[in-house]
Structure 1
């Protein structure tokens, strides 16, 4: 049994680690979504493709209130340059670094140094970096920066209770973001002709797989003439795909169970029940039924369950759980369960 630290400090540290991991995961996934949105652009339909990104993040109100107009340039600026937008990449990196500063005693020198280098890179992104191929290069650097953070953390962070809270944040955010990647497919406008539509569908599903870093693994497993159902299964239910929602939920369950078993944190009970419910929601019904009745509504339901799971962890372990830094849907879900 490990020696317990001051519970007040531990609660604050647990919360900081949970959110730091979520913010970093959010940055990588937003970079992936921006990259895939650019690949969904078709001539004359750019605005629709980029507005799809705003809708998936439930940012419509926030976007318009901040004085932006509905066009591709403004959406890119909103997510890549606007520090005042809490859901932007610069704001998420700044929030991650603010948490990291309070967690300095729990972090390796390498972790802290890399976070600072990454934050400087993000603060230097310019409007010129958002045009054409330059945007894709920026997205690649953002993904690489978060992956460097994750690798350094995996390689240097002490495996105590703090590690489990970091991992809980990472997996919950990743599961949520995978549902958004799947959803972006359903906001994309498709051409009308049957053959045109089939080619566009394949191109778009391939783009979604690339966004979820699953293209090569999927190609290795899938039939040559794969169906949408195959892609949805891979991203929602494949037990070996690192970004599948099921793998993330199983890892979350396992970490919560370890916190209860190894550290005597019995308050994990409610969160474990929520994770079990979520796992049942993921594997309960045939995908053919879900696709026939509406994937978008199903993904919304999965997101609400993930938000309730995060809220259960917050109520059990964090000092002063308030729905202050979540998305609007998260705040609503927390209110529902309060």
Structure 2
């Protein structure tokens, strides 16, 4: 496969997953507010921190209001990680490689891009916003199904799913990091009884609540959620599962060398940690380290397969 096409497919996977994960996050946060006391003041800026875009947001928006954050995360084409931008970039990357994927994948991405360009401008009301986010997630799941059921297991498939797996692992760590630090309250707060609700929101952000209840079989707790989302070997959105999937995809590509070594290093970092003892600042530091490892994997892939 040509280096250019491989790169386009890799980033198509990353951008698609970014759009879906952001939509899940927004929807779960909106639903969380319905379970909290009416007087609860919510820090909407925490969602901006999840995508690592604090500086870009501060430069263009004068306040941290719900409306400003939603515009920034959903419809702002100047922000490269907004849903609108991610879908536009996925569409643009796939344009030159669309002969390598099922035709229905291109059509669904194109349709979703046009949908969010229109409906993404009308998300002030939470009910309307929830419907838009549900459409994004539903379409993204349709695209994933088309890829899994209709795409040959060749280098094109490997590159596409490699990008998707890395982006998913990255978004999982970001959601755990910011949601566990900015949403969780201190022990003296009147909102302490709602800590479980907040951890459930973390699980729902990643569509993990039902599988957590099925496999962990204990009440939802912070350490339990962290352990499940970082180290579970069977849940598709856990960091360990994503790394394992990325490793499998790389093993089928020519001379993965340093790329596979980077994934092994990340797996060792994850395996050596005592996840049950991580909380607060120590958890945040550990998640930062995992994100650095993921960035190293991305750079190794770029150097090996995309550099001319």
Residues of 2 paired with 1:56 and 1:116: CA distance?
Answer: 27
1:287 aligns with 2:292: no
1:187 aligns with 2:210: no
Name the residue aligned to 1:325: none
Name the residue aligned to 1:69: 63
Match of 1:246 among 221, 240, 243: 240
Change in CA separation of 1:146 and 1:68 when aligned onto 2, cut-off 3 Å: farther
1:144 aligns with 2:138: yes
Structure 1 unpaired stretches of 5+: 260-264, 321-338
1:212 aligns with 2:180: no
Q: Aligned-residue CA RMSD in angstroms?
A: 1.9
Structure 2 unpaired stretches of 5+: none
Change in CA separation of 1:220 and 1:58 when aligned onto 2, cut-off 3 Å: same
Name the residue aligned to 1:25: 17
Task: Give the TM-score normalised by the residue count of structure 2.
Answer: 0.92
Residues of 2 paired with 1:14 and 1:228: CA distance?
Answer: 39
- SS class of match (1:242): coil
Residues of 2 paired with 1:273 and 1:84: CA distance?
Answer: 35
The worse-fitting range, judged by mean Cα deviation, of 18-27 and 138-147 is 138-147
Runs of 4 or more, structure 1, over 3 Å off, are: 39-47, 191-196, 223-226
Structure 1 residue 29 displacement after superposition: 0.4
Match of 2:307 among 319, 328, 333: 319
Match of 1:175 among 163, 169, 179: 169
Residues of 2 paired with 1:75 and 1:187: CA distance?
Answer: 16
Task: Give the TM-score normalised by the residue count of structure 1.
Answer: 0.85
Name the residue aligned to 1:336: none
Match of 1:161 among 135, 155, 162: 155
1:56 aligns with 2:50: yes
Conserved? CA contact 1:249–1:275, under 8 Å: yes
Which has the bigger relative contact order, CA under 8 A and spacing at least 6?
2
Match of 2:259 among 271, 278, 281: 271
